[in-house]
Chains A and B, each alone.
Chain A
Amino acid sequence: MSRTESKNRTADMSNRNPFLNRVAESLGRPRRTDDVTRPDWKHTVHLDTLADSTPEQLVEVLKEQCFFIHTQVIESTPQLLQATLDDLIDSYGGGSVIRSGDPRFSQYDLSFHNDFAWSADAAREENIRRAEAANVAIVFADYALAESGTVVLESRPDQGRALHFLPAHYIAVIERDRIVPRSTQAMAELNRRYEKGETLGSCLNLISGPSNSADIEMQLVVGVHGPLKATYVLI
C-alpha cells in the first residue's frame, strides 16, 4: 500500500473528508487545503504591553504580581542559591525532594538530601511514585513572564509533566535574564523555534503560582489538586 493510500484510508476511518467537506459547504465555498496565511492582525496591543520595560522594572512587575497569586518570591544569587533552597525546603517541612534533571542543577553545583531527579532511566511508575511521595519539587524555568507571574517549562525526558503537579510544594528557580514582559514573547519564541524545525516537548506548562479554586461559594482556596504552595527564587 502506498503512503497516500494509507493516508487516505486513515482519513476515511477518521471521517475526516466528509466532515471537512461539510464545513466547507457551510462556509459556502470549496474545501480549502492550500496554505492559508494569517492576516496582519489589526492591533499590536499584545506586543506593546510592557514591551519597553527595563529588566529591573520587569523584576518589580513580577514581584508585585506574585503577591496577588499567593506566590513567595525570594531574591538570591548563584552563590547563595544552595543555601536559599535548603532554607526553603526546611520551611516546607523537609522531607523528600524531587527535581528535574535540568543540567543547571549541576551547573550551579546543587545537591539535596533525600532527593530524586526525574529521569528517563527510571520507569514511568517509579518517577510518578517519587513525585507523588515528594514534599517539594524544584525546577528551573525556561522563561518567566513578568506580567502574570508565570514560569514556562517544557516537558523533556528529564522533566516530566507530573513533576509540577504531584508534590505538595513547588519551587521554581528563575534566572533573571529569562524574564520576559508577558506570555506574548514566550509563545512567539516557542512558535518561532517550532517553525524553524525544532521539536518542542509534548507539553508546555505555563504555571502561575499554586493551584487554587473558587468553586465553593466563590471563596478562594489555595492548594487544590496541584501544589499547595509555590515559591520563585530569582537569581
Chain B
Amino acid sequence: MSLKTDDRKFDARTAAGIGDAFMRGAVGSAQDSLKTRRLTAATALGDWEQWRELGQQIRQHTLENLDYYLGQMADNVERRGGHVFFARTKEEASAYIRDVVQSKNARKVVKSKSMVTEEIEMNHVLMEAGCEVIESDLGEYILQEDDWDPPSHIVAPALHKNRKQIRDVFASKLSYAGDETPEHLARFARDILREKFLEAEIGITGCNFAVANLGAINLVTNEGNGDLTAALPKTHIAVMGMERIVPTLEEMEVLDNLLCRSAVGQKLTSYITVMGPREPGEVDGPEEFHLVIVDNGRSEILASEFHEALQCIRCGACLNVCPVYRHIGGHAYGSIYPGPIGAVITPLLGGYDDYKELPYASSLCGACTDVCPVKIPLHEQLVMHRQNIVSQGRTGVADRVQMKAASKLLSSPGMFRSTLRVAYSMTRLLSRHGRIVRGPGPIEGWIGIRDMPQPVKKQDGFRSWYENRERVERADAFDAPLKDIRKNGLSAKSDANAAVLPKAEPGRDSSVEEAAAPIGKEGR
C-alpha cells in the first residue's frame, strides 16, 4: 500500500462510496458510537478545553524544537545500543528496512499497525525481496487476507466490512469453517497469528510517540499485537514520522490520555508501552533495535503555512464527526489518510496533481476543528488549500468563468439589482418546489450537489418586505443607516448564489426526479 490507494478519479471514488449502502450504514453507526464515546470520555474530565490547550502547547513546543528533540532521541537510542536511521524519502526508509531484513537473512516479518509503514510502501518492498509480511492487528489482518484491501479509517481500518464478508474472506483464504460471530473470528485469527509471532525473525512496529530523553518508543494499542511484535522477534524495527516525538514520559502521558479518549473513548487503552533496546540481563525483547525516522515531505509541511497539521496524533476523532466522511466513506479519499486530516495532509504529501479535490470534500462546518485534541485548525487549513488551488490556476475553465461572472455581477450594485428584478421569471422554468433543479452546462454541476432555493418574486423579497413593513415610531431614524447600505450595495453579498443564475438559459425540460438523483453521480 502507498499513500495512494485508488487510481480512479475523485468523482468515481465518491460515487462508489455513496452507492455502497452497507458501507454507509457501517460508517454511520461507527461514527455515532465513537462520537458518543469520545464525548463521554472528554466530558468526564471536566476541563477538556484545558486538556486540549495543554496538548496543543506540548505539540507546538516539540515541533518548534524538533531538530533538538530528534537529535536527543537518536543519541539516547544509540547510547542504549540501538541503531537510528534518518530517511529523507520513503524510498530511503523502505530500502534501509529491506537492508536490515536481508542482513539478517530473514524471511518472516510480523508487524503491528502503522500508518507510516503504509506511506513508505514497506510491505511491498519487503514482499518483493521475498519476505512474508504479516499484519497482526485484527483489522489489518482481515484486509491483508482480502488481497490487501485498503484501510478506510486510521483507527478502525476494516470499518467498511461486515462480519459476513470477513467470514467469507477467512473461509476462502484460510479454510475457516466457523460462523460469523466476531468472537469466533477473532479467536481464529489469534491462533493463526500466535504462530506467526513465535516464528517471526523481524518485528516491525510504528510509533505513537518517541520519548526523546529516554530513547524509547511509545505504542498505544488494545489487542496486544504491538507488544508481541516488539517482544518476541530478535530484531525490532520501529518506524516513525519525524514529528511524532515528545520530550519526556510526562508529556507522553498527557498526549496518550488525549489520544485514547479522542480515538476510542477509553481512559487508557489496554496496552500502553514504552520500549527501547533491550537492557543487559533482560531475557526477551529485541537483541537488535532499529529506529527509522521518516521525513517524506514533512519538512516541507513544517516550513509551510500548514505546519500545525504536524501536531496530529492520529486519533481519528475528526473522521468520526465529519459529515462528508460519513457519506463517502474512507476509500473515496483515495489515500491511506482519509477524513478531514487526510484532506489536509494528503495533498501535502502526495501533491495537488493527484489530490486537488480533497480540500473540497468538506462542508467547512468545523466539527473536525472542534474535536481535535491538539487544536489543529483543520477547516481553516482546507480553506487555505482551496486558496492555493485557485491561485495556482488548478480549477477548471468552467469554475473560473463562473467566478469571473459572479465577481463582475456582485461588484456592480446596478447590475445586481437589475438581475434580481428578473431572477424569478428567468429561473421559473428551471425550478420545482422552490428549488432550482436544472441549469445549463457548468451551473448544473454546481446545483447537482447543492440545494439552491429559487429566487423569489421581487414583491416577495426581503427588501420590499423591509420597505413596506409596519413601522414603529421614529422609523425614519432607523431607516437612515439602511439608506447608506443600499447606496453602497453591501447587503448584496448575502444573495450571491442567486445572482449567478439569471444567466441561465430557460426552456429545458426538468423534473423533480432528476433533481433528486443521487449526488455525485458519475460523469456529471
Binding site for B on A (CB under 8 A): 10, 14-16, 18-28, 31-34, 36, 38-39, 41-43, 45-46, 49, 65, 69, 118-120, 122, 124, 127-128, 132, 145, 147-150, 155-157, 160-162, 164-166, 183-184, 187-188, 190-191, 194-195, 199-219, 221, 223-227
Contacts and interface: CB of A to CB of B under 8 A. Distances in A.
A147 B267 contact: yes
Nearest to B87: A15
Contacts of B228: 162, 165-166, 225-226
Interface string B251-284: 1111011000000101111111111111101111
A223 B70 CA distance: 36
A205 B256 contact: no
Nearest to B82: A202
A42 B183 CA distance: 45
Interface in B137-171: 137-139, 142, 156-159, 161-163, 166
B261 to A, nearest CB: 10
Given A202-B279, A205-B271, A41 B57 contact: yes
Contacts of A161: 227, 230-231, 275, 284-285
Given A120-B283, A204-B216, A213-B138, 16 more contacts: A14-B85, A33-B68, A36-B69, A41-B54, A120-B282, A128-B284, A147-B267, A150-B272, A201-B282, A202-B279, A203-B231, A211-B224, A211-B270, A215-B142, A216-B182, A223-B186
B191 to A, nearest CB: 10
13 contacts: A23-B67, A36-B69, A46-B254, A124-B283, A150-B268, A162-B232, A200-B214, A203-B276, A212-B270, A213-B222, A218-B156, A225-B224, A227-B224
Contact of B158 (A15, A155, A212, A215): A215
B185 A216 contact: yes
Contacts of B163: 216-217
B45 A128 contact: no
A39 B285 contact: no
A160 B158 contact: no
A210 B88 CA distance: 39
Interface string B222-237: 1111011011100000
B33 interface: yes
Nearest to A189: B249
B67 A38 contact: no
Interface in B23-56: 26, 29-30, 33-34, 45-47, 50-51, 53-54
Contacts of B66: 23, 27
Contact of A26 (B57, B157, B303): B303
B493 interface: no
B282 A155 contact: yes
Interface stretch (B293-301, B391-399, B408-416): B293-301
A20 B284 contact: no
B510 interface: no
Contacts of A203: 230-231, 273-276, 285
Contacts of B187: 223
Contacts of B33: 218
Contacts of B285: 155, 160-161, 202-203
Contact of B156 (A156, A165, A204, A214): A214
A73 B54 CA distance: 33
B421 interface: no
Contact of A118 (B29, B183, B190, B283): B283
Nearest to B225: A225
A188 to B, nearest CB: 6
A225 B192 CA distance: 10
Contacts of B216: 202, 204
A26 B299 contact: yes
Contacts of B166: 216
Nearest to A147: B267
Given A39-B57, A224-B224, A157 B51 contact: no
A15 B85 CA distance: 7
B282 A156 contact: yes
Given A161-B284, A226-B223, A208 B270 contact: yes
Nearest to A215: B139
B136 interface: yes
A165 B224 contact: yes
B193 interface: yes
A26 B152 CA distance: 32
B186 A43 contact: no
Contacts of B252: 187
B279 A199 contact: yes
Contacts of B272: 150, 183, 205-206, 208
Contact of B253 (A184, A218, A224): A184
A161 B232 CA distance: 9
A69 B156 contact: no
A21 B29 CA distance: 46
Nearest to A28: B303
A225 B163 CA distance: 19
B242 interface: yes
B25 to A, nearest CB: 10
A15 B67 CA distance: 13
B223 A213 contact: yes
Nearest to B234: A124
A37 B227 CA distance: 32
Contacts of A25: 299, 303
Contacts of A213: 138-139, 186, 222-223
A188 B251 CA distance: 9
A145 B162 CA distance: 36
Nearest to B156: A215
A89 B193 CA distance: 26
B281 A23 contact: no
Best-surrounded residue of B29, B84, B227, B275 (most CB of chain A within 10 A): B227
B198 interface: yes
A199 B281 CA distance: 12
A174 B136 CA distance: 31
Interface string B190-212: 10011001100000000000000
A128 B194 CA distance: 12
A49 B270 contact: no
Nearest to B143: A215
A147 B51 CA distance: 16
Nearest to B85: A14
A16 B86 contact: yes
Nearest to B29: A218
B137 A160 contact: no
